[in-house]
Structure 1
């Protein structure tokens, strides 16, 4: 596993160490890895949702407004488990 050094403010360092102590993490590095994984999942969901919105907009379906298109995309995303 690669090592990366990151500079944190004292407040951020204290936060990470506190979270590692009080939550389910063995080390501060475990906490940071969990944050990265959660961000990856969030990013994938946003990308999938954007793809659904783009698909809906490209369909040329003029009977729906933007808010309806977003609702349709949300419903499709939910059906896909996103």
Structure 2
């Protein structure tokens, strides 16, 4: 694992320390890693949403679509 040193103003350091102690993190590094993972997840979700928004429209998900889906699930479950 690589090491990265981060300088924080006292107010942010106090906030991080508080989060570590109240939210069950073992160290400030664990807290920062969790924030980075969450940010990665947000960016991935944003990318997927934009990809979907820019893709061609598919079949509508209307009442008929869900009725057909229910029928297929019921047939599959009874097999």
Q: Which has the larger radius of gyration?
A: 2
Structure 2 unaligned blocks of 5 or more: 58-79
Quote how far apart the aligned CAs of 1:42 are: 0.7
1:34 aligns with 2:26: no
- Taking the aligned partners of 2:37 and 2:26, their CA distance within structure 1 comes to 16
- How many equivalent pairs are there? 57
1:15 aligns with 2:15: yes
- Taking the aligned partners of 2:27 and 2:17, their CA distance within structure 1 comes to 8
* Moved beyond 2 Å, runs of 4+: none
Quote how far apart the aligned CAs of 1:54 are: 1.1
By relative contact order (CA 8 Å, sep 6+), the higher-ranking structure is: 1
Quote how far apart the aligned CAs of 1:9 are: 1.0
Secondary structure of the 1:2 match is coil
- Taking the aligned partners of 1:32 and 1:52, their CA distance within structure 2 comes to 30
Secondary structure of the 1:11 match is helix
Match of 2:50 in 1: 50
Q: TM-score, normalised by structure 2?
A: 0.68
Structure 1 unaligned blocks of 5 or more: 60-82
- Taking the aligned partners of 2:24 and 2:40, their CA distance within structure 1 comes to 20
